[in-house]
Structures are given as structure tokens and as C-alpha cells.
């Protein structure tokens, strides 16, 4: 009886594996892409590029990397900031040792350094779990930042101990350095983030993504269906750290322009972790929603009083801001612990039913 239906369902299963099984989703995605690729860059001013668009994209990517490890594979990491640092320092060494190297290539390669370091620190994950693993990643965090500080070769023995992004051209266009235009840098970042997101979507919907989720949900059962736990976890560490490393290279080369070791310290790790949690663990979309809330919203709230003509002391605005964002985070976590992505899923569900509630 097992072969009777094979073949005739084939086209069905293929369309069943399509990214958007509902046409409206595809339309919505098209609109988002239109905004990201055309409308935003052609309407944004310098401030919007530098304070909103570029950082939101880069933080989203970092959170995406962390989400692969924590949300999909179930391995908590508190060392994201340091792994961003590995990507940034690797990129710095690559472009200073090989000045001719295309920046896209350099950033793509720096991810591999982060991946290698990630795998090394992921090795204990077979033996230790949960909070204990989190502590191990915290050790990685401290060790790496210490290394960024003490290993002078990493910052080419600069007296300042910081890395400074050199001026870099790509195909005759300035992409990095103090004189690069935000417009170009935005597209550069958007391109990398788009590619990484496509990869992340593909891998999480395939069988490697399924083994991650299986290990996350019940590792013993995963082992007993033949999943090699160590292998599955190490692939997660590698892929996650790769993406995080790339985001770190973008962070410094396409946005900050310079970096000191402590930039990659715990506050950065926690910021990215917040984005992933608020956005929704185990979701791709959530990372973007989380970054908008954590990175963009404070900036918008800061300039809002001025925009509507309110005269409020800057310090007061700052404090109000922290309170509003803090309250929002807590509200989100209370109402929907699975994050903003789940909010969206519920709204979408309602829209599909509408106007016929069942």
C-alpha cells in the first residue's frame, strides 16, 4: 500500500514546501523588500541611515545568528558580543594584511574565523547544558575580550589599542572608511543581511534545522532516532557563530568605523540576546522585529518630542525613554513570552479567518 500514492502527490508536496503557502504572505514580503531596497534608501537622510536603518539591519543579523544557536538548537549563549568581535578583528587583520582584498570577500571570510572559535567553545556543549553552558560561553566572552585587549598583533600595535577602519573601495566605489557614503553602506549591509537571511531560512526549514529542533526539544529522543548530538550542536555553533561574526565585521566596518575591545563586552551580548528573546526565539522574522523595538524605537522616542514641538529637557527624555522601552519589554514578555514574532503569527491567523471567525 505504500507506493500507491507516491508520484501523484509530488507537485503537491513541492508547493507545500514553498516559502509562502499563502499568497498574501508573498505580497507582504514583496512590500517589505520594496521598502528595504528602494523606498527607505531613496528617502532616508544621513541621520536615518546612521541611527536607524544600518544599525537595525546589523543588530538583526547578530540576533539571527544567536537565534540559530539558542532559538533553534536550544543552546544558550551569553558570548555573542565577543563572537562579533572575532568577526570584526578577523576582518581588520584580513584587510590590513591583504589591502587588495574585496571587502565582501573579507567579511565573508571573517565569518569563518568566528565559526572556528564558536565550534571550539561549543565542544563542551555535549557534556554541559542550560545554565552551565551559558556560563561556559560567558567564559568565552571574558577570554576573548581579554584577548582583543592583550594581543597587540590583533590591532596592529596601535598605540590606542583600538582598530580603525581604513578607507576601502570596491569596484571604484567607496564602501568603508570615514568618507564612505551612508547610501552605499546601507546597500552593502542590506545585501549581506539579505543573503544571510535567505541562508538562515533555508537551513532552518531543512533537515539540519529539524535535527537542531529535535535536540532542543528532547535530546535523548533525538539520540535515539539516530541524530548525532555533538555533530548537530557543533553545526549549530558553526553556523550561528559565522553569522554573528559577519554581523560583527559589518558592525565595525560599515557602521562604527572604529572599535575598542570593550565594545564587544557583555552589554553588547545582552543587547543582542534581548533582541532575539523579545523578537521570538526560534523565529527568523522575530530578529528584525526585536531589533526595531530595541534599537530603533529608543532613537525615535528620543527625537519625537522635538519633532512634535515639545520642549522637554533632554535628560528627561532619556529617562522617559528607558522607562517606556523597559515597560514595553516587560509587557511583551508577560503577554506573549514567545516574542513579537508570535504576536504577528496570531494577528496573521486572525486575518486569515477574517471575516469568518469559526
Partner 1 sequence: MADTIQSSPWTDDGIDPGAVLLNVDNISLSFGGVKAISDISFDVCKGEIRAIIGPNGAGKTSMLNVINGFYQPQEGTIMFRGKERRSMKPHQAVGQGIARTFQNVALFKGMSTLDNIMAGRSVMMKRNLFWQLLWHGPALNEEIEHREKVEEIIDFLEIKHIRRTPVGNLPYGLQKRVELGRALAMEPSLLLLDEPMAGMNLEEKEDMSRFVLDVNQQFGTTIALIEHDMGVVMDLSDRVVVLDYGKKIADGTPDEVRNNQDVIDAYLGVPH
Site residues (vs partner 1, CB under 8 A):
1-2, 5-6, 9-10, 13-14, 16-17, 199, 201-203, 205-211, 213-214, 216-218, 220-228, 235, 239, 282
What's the start-to-end Cα distance of the chain, in Å?
Answer: 36
What are the strands, taking DSSP E only, across the chain?
Answer: 163-164, 168-170, 173-176, 258-259
| Residue closer to partner 1 (CB basis): 9 or 151 | 9
52 within 8 A of 68, measured Cβ to Cβ: no
Nearest distance from C-beta of residue 65 to partner 1, angstroms: 14
| Residue closer to partner 1 (CB basis): 238 or 292 | 238
**Residue 252 in grid coordinates:** 565595525
Nearest distance from C-beta of residue 235 to partner 1, angstroms: 7
Nearest distance from C-beta of residue 134 to partner 1, angstroms: 20
Nearest distance from C-beta of residue 73 to partner 1, angstroms: 12
Q: What are φ and ψ of residue 192, in 5° steps?
A: -60, -45
| Residue closer to partner 1 (CB basis): 43 or 358 | 358
CB count, 10 Å around CB of 110? 27
Nearest distance from C-beta of residue 209 to partner 1, angstroms: 8
| Residue closer to partner 1 (CB basis): 205 or 319 | 205
- Residue 84, Cα to own-chain centre: how many angstroms? 10
Find the DSSP H helices in 151-218: 182-205, 207-217
| Residue closer to partner 1 (CB basis): 13 or 356 | 13
Bridge partner list, 169: 174
- Residue 298, Cα to own-chain centre: how many angstroms? 19
Give dist(CA 246, CA 64) in Å, integer.
11
Question: In whole angstroms, how far apart are CA 118 and each of 122, 224, 236?
Answer: 6, 26, 9
Nearest distance from C-beta of residue 93 to partner 1, angstroms: 26
| Residue closer to partner 1 (CB basis): 6 or 313 | 6
Amino acid at each position: 500500500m505504500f507506493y500507491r500514492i507516491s508520484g501523484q502527490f509530488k507537485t503537491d508536496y513541492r508547493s507545500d514546501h514553498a516559502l509562502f503557502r499563502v499568497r498574501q504572505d508573498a505580497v507582504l514580503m514583496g512590500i517589505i523588500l520594496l521598502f528595504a531596497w528602494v523606498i527607505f534608501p531613496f528617502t532616508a537622510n544621513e541621520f536615518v541611515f546612521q541611527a536607524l536603518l544600518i544599525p537595525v539591519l546589523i543588530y538583526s543579523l547578530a540576533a539571527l545568528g544567536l537565534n540559530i544557536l539558542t532559538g533553534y538548537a536550544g543552546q544558550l549563549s551569553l558570548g555573542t558580543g565577543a563572537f562579533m568581535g572575532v568577526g570584526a578583528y578577523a576582518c581588520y587583520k584580513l584587510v590590513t594584511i591583504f589591502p587588495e582584498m574585496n571587502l565582501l570577500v573579507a567579511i565573508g571570510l571573517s565569518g569563518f574565523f568566528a565559526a572556528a572559535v564558536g565550534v571550539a567553545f561549543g565542544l563542551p556543549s555535549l557534556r554541559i547544558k542550560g545554565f552551565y553552558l551559558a556560563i561556559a560561553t560567558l567564559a568565552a566572552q571574558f577570554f576573548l575580550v581579554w584577548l582583543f585587549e592583550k594581543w597587540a598583533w590583533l590591532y596592529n600595535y596601535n598605540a590606542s589599542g583600538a582598530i580603525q577602519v581604513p578607507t576601502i573601495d570596491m569596484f571604484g566605489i567607496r564602501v568603508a572608511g570615514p568618507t564612505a557614503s551612508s547610501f552605499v553602506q546601507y546597500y552593502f549591509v542590506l545585501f549581506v543581511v539579505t543573503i544571510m537571511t535567505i541562508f538562515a531560512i533555508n537551513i532552518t526549514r531543512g533537515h539540519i534545522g529539524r535535527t537542531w529542533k529535535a535536540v532542543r526539544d528532547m535530546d535523548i529522543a533525538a539520540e535515539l532516532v539516530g541524530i548525532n548530538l555533538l555533530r548537530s550542536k557543533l553545526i549549530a555553533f558553526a553556523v550561528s557563530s559565522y553569522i554573528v561574526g559577519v554581523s560583527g565585521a559589518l558592525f565595525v566596518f560599515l557602521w562604527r568605523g572604529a572599535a575598542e575591545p570593550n565594545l564587544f563586552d557583555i552589554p553588547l551580548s545582552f543587547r543582542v540576546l534581548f533582541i532575539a528573546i523579545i523578537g521570538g526565539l526560534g523565529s527568523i522574522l522575530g530578529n528584525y522585529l526585536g531589533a526595531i523595538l530595541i534599537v530603533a524605537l529608543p532613537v525615535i522616542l528620543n527625537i519625537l518630542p522635538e519633532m512634535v514641538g515639545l520642549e522637554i529637557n533632554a535628560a528627561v527624555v532619556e529617562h522617559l525613554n528607558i522607562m517606556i522601552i523597559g515597560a514595553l519589554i516587560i509587557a511583551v514578555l508577560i503577554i506573549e513570552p514567545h516574542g513579537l514574532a508570535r504576536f504577528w503569527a496570531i494577528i496573521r491567523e486572525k486575518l486569515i479567518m477574517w471575516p469568518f471567525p469559526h
